[in-house]
Each structure stands twice: as C-alpha cells, then as structure tokens.
Amino acid sequence: MDRELSRRHLLKLAAAGAGAAALSPRLVQRAWAQELPPLPKKDTYTVGFCQTGSNNPWRLAETKSMQDEAAKRGYKLIATDANEDTAKQIADVASVIAQRPDILIFPPRESGPLAPSVLQAKQAGIPVILIDRDVEHDVAMPGRDYITFIGSDFVDQGRRAAEWLIGATGGNARIIELEGTTGADPAIDRKQGFDELILGGSFKGTPVATPVAGMQILASQTGNFTRNEGRQVMETLLQAHPDVTAVYAHNDEMAIGAIAALEAAGRKPGQDVILVSIDGENDAIQAIVDGKLGATVESSPFFGPIAFDTMLKYANGEDLPDWVVVVDRFFDKSNAAEFVGKQY
Ligand code: GYE
C-alpha cells in the first residue's frame, strides 16, 4: 500500500470524526478494504479511456483533447468508443480493465448503469477518474470507489440558461425543452437547474425558487444530445405546440437541429422563437452571430490537461476533492464574435 495514499485515507477518517487510534483492528482492516487502488509514481502511464461515442463535435473534441495530451506526455491511451450504446460502454470498460491499464479515465454515458463498472475497476485494483459525466453516488462514491469527478456544475448551467431566457423574454415564454440522453448526469441536472428556476421547486426539501408567472414549459422530451434527433423531436413538438416562443436545448447540437426544424416550418429562430442552449461549439457561436441562437452556456470538452494533472496529483499522494469543478463561461451576442471558429 502506497504510504501517501494511506495517509490520505487516515486524514479522511480523522475528518469524519473517527480517530484511527480509536478504531479496532477489524474496523481498520475493513477501512483498508475500502481503500482506493493506489497509483504508483511512474515516468509514463497506460490510461484506459472509454468514450461514449463520436456523434457530435463535443465528443470529438473531448477524445482529441485526451489523445493530444496523452501524446504530449508520452502516455499510452487504450481507447474505446461505445457508439452511444450504454451496454457497449459497460463491455468496453470490462475489456479495458482486462488489459490492466494503470488508471481508467472516462465519461460514464448513463449515471446508473455505469456505476457498477466503476466498482469493477476498483475491485481489479485499477483507480478511476470520471470526467464530464458522473455516476450515482449511492452505488459508487468519489473518494471511496473512484478518485474524483472532474466536470461542470450542470445544475448551475441549467439555472444560467433559465436566467438568460427569463431576461431575454421579459419573463414571458412558452418553452419547449429538448433534453439530453435519458439517464445521463448532465441531462438530469440541466433539467433540474432550469425547471427549478422556471417552475419553482425544491432541492432536498429546501425551496430554491418560486415559479416565474409568465414562463411555462409546454413540453420536455429527449433529443439524445444529437442534432438529428433535436430536429426530429422539434418538428413533432412544433406540430403539437405551434404557440411555442422559446426553446431550451440541453446542448448546442439539439439547438442547431431545432433551428433547422423551425426554419423548415417557416418560423424565425431568434425572433419569434428565442433559443438558449449549452456547450459553446463553433456552430453555436456562429448561430449566435447570425442572430438565430440567443446564448449558450459553456461546457468545456477539453479534459486532457486537467485529467492527467489530476491523475499525477493522485500519484503524488495529494488530497483531492471529490469533485474537481470546471468553471464555465457564457456566450451571447455581446462576446460571440470573438470566438467564431475558435471553439470546436
Ligand atoms: O454537453 C454534450 C455531450 O456530457 C457534458 O455530452 C457532456 C455532454 C455535452 O454529448 O454535448
């Protein structure tokens, strides 16, 4: 057992109010069994990276960021692509574990089904860092079962989108919400943050917002984070709700799809229908400049540098937070021009 890691664990026990000296040997033994797998200090690492798919610019940018950074540092990447199929990602993780990388760094496509995969890696003695999407903490816990989650505050992203939309519509809108992949952490949280602000609600029993009287959500349906499904779902919902005046899409690709559906139906995105989304890809920045998309909350796909830096901190025995929060910018017509073609 790495001494630095042992120290980290004891610090945690102490922080939890359980002094190590007060623990019976059996309890200590059980605590060790819960230890995160260690990561030795080495000159080079073999890193497992199980991507969810390659069906949008965000995913491609994330994969490239991991590949580029691994190449720069001379690390070997064992990469898989689940083709946006959760069952395949579960199988991919299992097969990468069998190849015994030093560490597994990956985005779990769905937060429930991939949680056991994290435990599987831990059992095999392979430490895990989750990037961009998290798993359910009642099954797998950061700091206990995996090192940490590196990613954005998705609830806050949803809130920021709602705040902007309330401002842009003067607090009066009939909204269609295009949700991300069902069961994906960002889809769940982006809906929660947005809906809470618009409709009012509570978080763990505490009221967080009162409804905005003039804002209503006409329909909320998944478009699977893709442009094509965003367009198709928007086409269908537009027929059922021709009185729509705003769209909130959980990512840019679906917003771009919705813009196409609106234009095909003779509507004027940016004028009679106001759109807001999340990510900050090139096409979205351009759509803002063109006056079709109102704003997008940034969600960065560039995880390579921060993922490997975090990995090295772990190898060095540094105490890490359970969540490494990625801070996001915001793009609207006030700043979009300076980012044209500079994103991904
Ligand atoms: O917003 C979306 C992608 O998990 C944060 O997944 C990520 C999201 C991102 O497909 O475009």
| Ligand 1 atom closest to Cα of residue 252 | 11
| pLDDT for res 263 | 98
Angstrom distance (rounded) from CA 53 to CA 81:
5
Least confident segment among 5-14, 51-60, 166-175: 5-14
Most informative mutation of 51, 52, 59 for ligand 1 (most atoms within 8 A of CB): 59
- Superfamily, domain 2-152+301-328: Response regulator (3.40.50.2300)
Q: Indicate the pLDDT class of residue 211, thresholds 50, 70 and 90.
A: confident
pLDDT for the residue 228: 98
Tell me which CATH homologous superfamily contains domain 154-299: Response regulator (3.40.50.2300)
**Substitution site in 50, 181, 251, 281 for ligand 1 pocket (most atoms within 8 Å of beta carbon):** 251
- Residue 12, pLDDT above cutoff 80: no
Mutate to test the pocket of ligand 1, among 55, 58, 283 (most ligand atoms within 8 A of CB): 58
What's the pLDDT score for residue 3?
37
pLDDT at 83: 98
For the chain, percent of residues with pLDDT exceeding 70: 90
pLDDT of residue 30: 42
**Range from 9-23, 71-85, 109-123 carrying the lowest mean pLDDT:** 9-23
pLDDT band at 67 (very low <50, low <70, confident <90, very high): very high
List CB contacts of 204: < 8 A, sequence separation 6 or more: none
CB 110 within 8 A of CB 134: no
Which pLDDT value is given to residue 35? 87
| Range from 23-27, 174-178, 266-270 carrying the lowest mean pLDDT | 23-27
- CA of 225, closest atom in ligand 1: 10
Beta strands in the chain (DSSP E): 46-51, 76-81, 103-106, 128-131, 148-152, 173-179, 201-203, 206-209, 215-222, 246-249, 274-279, 295-298, 323-326, 330-332
Ligand 1 closest atom vs CA 185? 4
Cβ-based burial of 235 (10 A; exposed 0-12, middle 13-18, buried ≥19) = middle
Distance 225 CA to ligand 1 centre (A): 7
- Integer angstrom CA distances of residue 42 from 47, 100, 143: 12, 15, 22
**201-203 and 206-209 strand pairing:** antiparallel
Digit-coded pLDDT (tens) for 257-273: 999 999 999 999 999 99
CA of residue 238 to ligand 1 center, whole Å: 24
Instruction: Enter the tokens of residue 168.
Output: 């842009």
What is the percent of the chain with per-residue pLDDT over 90, rounded to a whole number?
Answer: 86
Kind plus residue range of the DSSP H or E element containing 197: helix 185-199
d(CA 58, ligand 1 centre) in Å: 7
Distance 56 CA to ligand 1 centre (A): 9
Please tell me the residue having the least CA distance from ligand 1 atom 10.
225
Residue range 202-225: mean pLDDT, rounded: 87
The model's pTM? 0.89
Q: What is the spatial distance between Cα 136 and Cα 174, in angstroms, rounded to a whole number?
A: 32
For residue 14, is pLDDT > 50? Answer: no
pLDDT at 5: 39
Distance 311 CA to ligand 1 centre (A): 22
Which residue matches tokens 């309330």? 166
> Ligand 1 centroid to 187 CA: how many Å?
8
**Domains 2-152+301-328 and 154-299 equal at CATH topology level:** yes
Instruction: Tell me how far the alpha carbon of residue 121 lies from the centroid of ligand 1, in angstroms.
Output: 24
Nearest in space to 305 (alpha carbons), one of 96, 131, 156: 131
- What single DSSP character describes residue 269? B
* 131-146: average pLDDT: 97
Residue 90 Cα to ligand 1 midpoint, Å, equals 18
pLDDT at 208: 73
Going by pLDDT thresholds of 50, 70 and 90, the confidence category of residue 148 is very high
* Residue nearest atom 7 in ligand 1 by C-alpha distance: 132
Closest C-alpha residue for ligand 1 atom 8: 186
Q: Where are the domains of the chain?
A: 2-152+301-328, 154-299
DSSP calls for 64-85? HHHHHHHHHHT-EEEEEE-TT-
What are the pocket residues of ligand 1 if the criterion is a CB atom closer than 6 Å to any ligand atom?
Answer: 56, 58-59, 107, 132-133, 186, 225, 251, 278-279, 299
